[in-house]
Amino acid sequence: GTPTSYPDVFVRLATHGVLSPSLAERMGELARFRNIMVHRYPLVTPEELHRRVKLHVADINDFIREITLYLRGQGIC
């Protein structure tokens, strides 16, 4: 089915074997933080933003790696 939220996109990708479940969970956390930044940004301190960015840089790199591996496995790239 269609994802019901931005974080749900990553759950669906894991369900279909595109992402590992652990990465899907971490990317869902990042998506939830993105929603906070978009809708409630005055509540986020610069320190919190810095902490979150440092925390999720590795997750973004893992996301790129897992998506690339999936696409290669499908003969797409």
* 68 vs 47: CA distance, rounded Å: 32
What is the reported pTM? 0.85
Per-residue pLDDT at 29 exceeds 90: yes
Per-residue pLDDT at 14 exceeds 90: yes
Residue 21 inside a domain? The answer is: yes
* 23 vs 38: CA distance, rounded Å: 22
Provide the 10 A C-beta neighbour count for residue 24.
22
Residue 55 inside a domain? The answer is: yes
Residue 1 inside a domain? The answer is: no
49 band by pLDDT with thresholds 50, 70 and 90: very high
- Domain boundaries, position 25: 6-73
Work out how many domains the chain is built from and give that number: 1
Residue 68 inside a domain? The answer is: yes
Per-residue pLDDT at 77 exceeds 90: no
Residue 43 inside a domain? The answer is: yes
In this prediction, residue 24 carries a pLDDT of 98
